[in-house]
Amino acid sequence: MITRAFRGGPAALALAFLTACTAQPELAREGSFDRQDLLYDPALAIEQGWLAMSLSPNGRLTDYRLDSTQDHLSIRAEGQRAASGLVLPVNVDVEACPYLEWEWRVEKLQEGASLYEADLEDVAASIWVMFGDPEPGPWGAITAPKPVPTLRYVWTTDKIQEETIIDSPSQPGVIRSIVVQGGIVSPLAWEGEKRDLAADYQAAFGGLPQSNVLAVALVTGNYHTQEPVVAHYGAARLRCSGG
């Protein structure tokens, strides 16, 4: 059951930390990374112990539930004039497991959203990769997540070029967004992603990570725009070195 919660707290414009890149960054590595480690799976959502994380002042939560469409199981997220997420404690060494793969789709998104403005910073779908422990105490016992360097992979409108990296206007220097998908071609179309976590961190923060990934989060919200949003999150896996 998802019962425990984080709670967290206008900048006019956020600094675009980097302009749009032409391709995904990737670091040169020796050896193969063909071992797959499951990070999360909708089929195991209850057993994996996801936690609720409220990010909107009104305390409302995005509606997260299991969904099966065309035999494709997902965690479905529907906006409820709220910004919230599901958080999963993990421990990932990105040197040993540098690649993150996942699938997702978006049925409806907020055309009025903007990653550059704190009062419009809604996302249709996003995966937060948190480098460090966001809990200052025992898991589930806090009222706000501790600010740790966070990559936020985002599906948003098509107004921003994919691969653009943006410093969050609400949490500058802490959350760096990477636009992975923009707009909707088909509300039924799933998209598969593969990211190099260490390379993306270096591109976003200017150096290699100093901590393991200790939490991941799925975050959909429409607190600012109040516009309808529906997203689906499929399974995610890590690509790790063999042995």
Q: What is the pLDDT of residues 113-144, one digit of tens each?
A: 999 999 999 999 999 999 998 875 555 533 56
The pLDDT assigned to 3 comes to: 29
The pLDDT assigned to 142 comes to: 38
SS (H, E, C) 92-112: ECCCCCCEEEEEEEEEECCCC
The pLDDT assigned to 211 comes to: 95
Which residues are CB-neighbours of 30 under 8 A, at least 6 positions away? none
Q: Mean pLDDT for the chain?
A: 87
The pLDDT assigned to 243 comes to: 58
pLDDT in tens, 186-205: 999 999 999 999 999 999 99
Cβ-contact 24, 98 below 8 angstroms: no
The pLDDT assigned to 156 comes to: 98
CA distance linking residue 137 with residue 28, whole number of Å: 37
Residue from 167, 118, 115 nearest 11 by CA: 118
Q: What is the pTM of this model?
A: 0.88
Cβ-contact 134, 87 below 8 angstroms: yes
The pLDDT assigned to 138 comes to: 55
pLDDT in tens, 72-116: 999 999 999 998 889 999 999 999 999 999 999 999 999 999 999
Cβ-contact 187, 44 below 8 angstroms: no
The two beta strands, 51-54 and 5-7, are parallel
pLDDT in tens, 202-242: 999 999 999 999 999 999 999 999 999 999 999 999 999 97
- Cross-strand bridge partners of residue 155: 125, 181
Which residues are CB-neighbours of 115 under 8 A, at least 6 positions away? 14, 121, 123, 154, 156, 160, 166, 168, 169, 177, 179
4 pLDDT band, cuts 50/70/90, is very low
162 pLDDT band, cuts 50/70/90, is very high
The pLDDT assigned to 137 comes to: 57
22 pLDDT band, cuts 50/70/90, is low
Output 49 or 165, whichever has higher pLDDT: 165
Domains of the chain by range and CATH?
Answer: 5-9+11-240 (2.60.120.260)
Query: Span 8-36, mean pLDDT?
Result: 61
* Number of Cα atoms under 13 Å in the Cβ half of residue 144: 8
